[in-house]
Structure 1
Amino acid sequence: MSSDPWGRVDETGTVYVRTADGEKVVGSWQAGSPEEALAYFERKYEGLVVEIGLLEKRVRTTDLSAKDAQAAIGHLREQVDAHHAVGDLDALRKRLDKLVATVEARREERKAQRAKQSDEARKAKEDLVAEAERLAQSDQWRAAGERLRALVDTWKGLPRLDRKSDDELWHRFSHARSAFSKRRKAHFAQLDAQREEARRVKERLVAEAEALSGSTDWGPTAARYRELMAEWKAAGRAQREHEDDLWNRFRGAQDVFFAARSSVFAERDAEQSENLKLKEELAEEAEKLLPITDLKAARAAFRSINERWEAIGHVPRDARPKVEGRMHAVERAIQEAEEAEWRRTNPEARARAEGLTGQLQAAVDKLRAQIDQARAQGNNAKADKLQKELEGRQALLDQALKGLQEFGG
């Protein structure tokens, strides 16, 4: 006969397992020794332990349904109750009982979670409906339309409620979208009507502008063109396919008139041409100040040139940008020289440069003293290491001294 703490084999080959209710027959073993019999049924016990452990893990870490979990527990309980294994079967029953309680708790937890999700989905859909109903009154047609389309996508991603609630909320949501679409359609129909009216007004304005293009009554005609332009702007935009063509005709008629007027005024431009010649001479005089080497003298000279410039009258309009640009270029160069001088003499920047130079000089002096001391003590390895550090600091000091020279120091 052979035995272990949880089972034994009698002389007939019958295998028993010990339980809280006494010994139970596990099975009969005739094929080998009693030790082999116990080992076989102990392995079956270990198999049950593994299966229960795996089920515990699945319940704990996956979304295994309560129904499937209970079925698996029942299957394992049948195997435990069949007493076809040697081991602490009572401990396995306790683990299965505990697992039943865990599954039930998870069931209630999921039930509560589903209820919470349903409440959240209801609140989310109610919020969507409320926003859609607000948007239904909006005049921001593009933004509101895009937002309503986004709300539809959001709605599709939410869980369904009970049929009655879901249908009621969807009806309100759909009604809000329809109301917005109806208002938008009416708005653009009205806009089309306004653009058609604008087209008729602008065609009349174009006809008058073209009729006036040959006039030589310069003052009144120019004034009338200004009035026509004001009426054009007040008319609003016509349809896109008409707007550009009408504008080109309107603008072309004006150009014809004003070009003719400009040719008549060419005599006046002759007087301005003499002014242009004088200003070009002054611009050439100003350009000789470049490059600037004496800022104070350049500033005084430019001031004198500028005073003479201001005393000269108008120049032809088409020549004005070029000649004024030449003067502005010299003026900018003087301003840049002034800014450079200010940066060079800026006391705060100078103080920072002097402070950095002083710190680096002190560090270099200290390292040289440490190197001399190390050499005197015969510690050449330390001295060589300090020498490399000194070279780096000396390079930084040289850079700082070079920068300080830019401040005139």
Structure 2
Amino acid sequence: MSSDPWGRVDETGTVYVRTADGEKVAGSWQAGSPDEALAYFERKYEGLVVEIGLLERRVRTTDLAAKDALAAIDHLRQQVDEAHAVGDLDALSKRLDRLTATVDERREERKAARGRQLEEAKKAKEDLVAEAEELAGGDQWRATGDRLRALVDTWKGLPRLDRKTDDELWHRFSHARSTFSKRRKAHFAALDAQREETRRRKEKLISEAEALSSSTDWGPTAARYRELMREWKAAGRAQRDAEEDLWTRFRAAQDVFFAARGEVFAERDAEYRENLARKEELVLEAEKLLPIGDVKTARAALRSIGERWEAIGHVPRDSRAAIEGRIQAVERAVQEAEETEWRRTNPEARARAAGLTGQLQDAVDRLERQIATAREAGNTAKAQKLERELEGRRALLEQALKGLREFGG
């Protein structure tokens, strides 16, 4: 018979292990000495110690699922309970109890963490839904489309919630995206229809521009081309692939007309430059009449110059204002001289001026007498009032006398 603190072997080869509940049969040994039997069952105990240690480390350092950890604990506990080993089995049971408690705690912690994670995920998804619903009414088509695609990617990276909540949020999220997509499609469909209408309008403008390209009615046609250009700009843009071709055709029609007009105007300008040189000679001749002496002689000379002026014809457009301004200045000078001469020799006007002068002189004389009378009577206030009136009448009299002198009076 052989024994140690945790077990013994009886004379029949039966191996016992000591526990808090008393001895239990660990097994039997018939192949050798009792010491060898105890050593064998002690090695089985050490094996359990190693397995429990490994499981404790896995629970502590890895993400071993609680279900798997508890299954492993149950397996080891069964081996400990079956007592097929010699050693402190009660200590192993206590370690397994503590490990079970640890696994339960970890499970609760993970459950709580999972709950927090799901709450955060729910909040994140609610935020995504709110943003998507706000974006659904926008009209920044490209930027909003890009943003909604980014929201989808963010959604895919979030954990799933409970089925009901997740489905409800996804339905709102999907509905917002669908709403935006429908609005965007409707917008671009309307835009395509508008651009198609623009293309048809521009085709009509091109047809008219091409029909006008051979016109030689330079002024009205150029004016109509300007109107066509305003209509073109007001029409908006056609489809991108058509706009450039339409513009090329429209400009080509105008270029034909304006090139032809430019050639005609170039020939005309050569002729007009000769006319300008001749009119400059006439202007010099007219300017020699200044200042005006004999009005009749000046008028006769200017009339002769005007007849020759009209016979010459047009001058270049950019020189017209300057040359006509110079001749008109001489015409105004002659006209002003004629008006001055007429006023000077008009007997009716002279008589009116003389009569007005006499009336004003009488008024001045009368006011002077009244002022003298008022001062003699000591009425200073009245005298001052009459003096102010006298001052105004004298100013009018001076103007009337100046006008009368223009008549030689």
Query: TM over 0.5, yes or no?
Result: yes
- Specify the structure having the higher radius of gyration (Cα): 2
Matched, 1:120 2:106: no
The match for 1:298 is none
Q: Which runs of 5+ in 1 are unaligned?
A: 271-409
Post-superposition CA distance 1:268-287 (Å, at most 9, x none): 999xxxxxxxxxxxxxxxxx
Counterpart residue type for residue 256 of structure 1: V
Q: Deviations over 1:53-88 (max 9, x none)?
A: 222233223333323322221221121122211122
Match of 2:168 in 1: 168
Aligned partner of residue 18 in structure 2, secondary structure: strand
Determine helix, strand or coil for the equivalent of 1:228.
helix
User: Against the structure 1 CA distance between its residues 111 and 269, is the aligned structure 2 distance closer, same or farther, given a 3 Å change threshold?
Assistant: farther
RMSD: 2.8
Offset of residue 109 of structure 1: 1.1
The AA in structure 2 aligned to 1:200 is R
Task: Report what 1:111 is aligned to.
Answer: 111
Deviations 1:267-316 (A, max 9, x none): 8999xxxxxxxxxxxxxxxxxxxxxxxxxxxxxxxxxxxxxxxxxxxxxx
Aligned counterpart, 1:99: 99
**Correspondence list, 1:1-400, <5 A:** 1-216=1-216, 221-222=221-222, 224-240=224-240, 242-263=242-263
CA deviation after TM superposition for structure 1 residue 150, in Å = 3.6
AA aligned to 1:193 is A
CA apart distance, 1:220: 5.9
- Structure 2 residue identity aligned to 1:187: H
Distance in 2 (CA, whole Å) between partners of 1:193 and 1:10 is 104
Amino acid at match of 1:151: L
Spell out, residue by residue over 1:24-53, the C-alpha distance to the aligned partner (whole angstroms, 9 max, x if none).
332222210122112111111111112212
- Aligned AA for 1:84? H
Report deviation, 1:266: 6.3
TM-score (norm 2): 0.59
C-alpha change, 1:24 and 1:247, in structure 2 (3 Å) is same
The CA deviation at 1:126 is 0.7
The CA deviation string for residues 190-226 of structure 1, in whole angstroms up to 9 with x for no partner, is 2133213312321232123223323445566555434
Tell me which residue corresponds to 2:316: none
* Alignment CA distance shift 1:123-1:268 (3 Å): farther
- 1-side partners of 2:6 and 2:77: how far apart? 18
1:139 Cα deviation from its structure 2 partner: 0.3
- Amino acid aligned to 1:34: P
- CA distance, structure 2, for counterparts of residue 148 and residue 104 of structure 1: 42
| SS of match in other structure, 1:8 | strand
- Which 5+ residue runs of structure 2 have no aligned equivalent? 271-409
Distance (Å, rounded) in 2 between the aligned partners of 1:44 and 1:268: 124
Give the SS at the match of 1:70: helix
Relative to structure 1, the CA distance from residue 156 to residue 269 in structure 2 (aligned partners, 3 Å threshold; closer, same or farther) is farther
Q: Distance in 1 between matches of 2:175 and 2:78?
A: 58
Q: Quick one: which amino acid aligns to residue 174 of structure 1?
A: S
Change over 3 Å in CA distance of 1:268–1:4 after alignment to 2: farther
Structure 1 residue 138: Cα displacement: 0.7
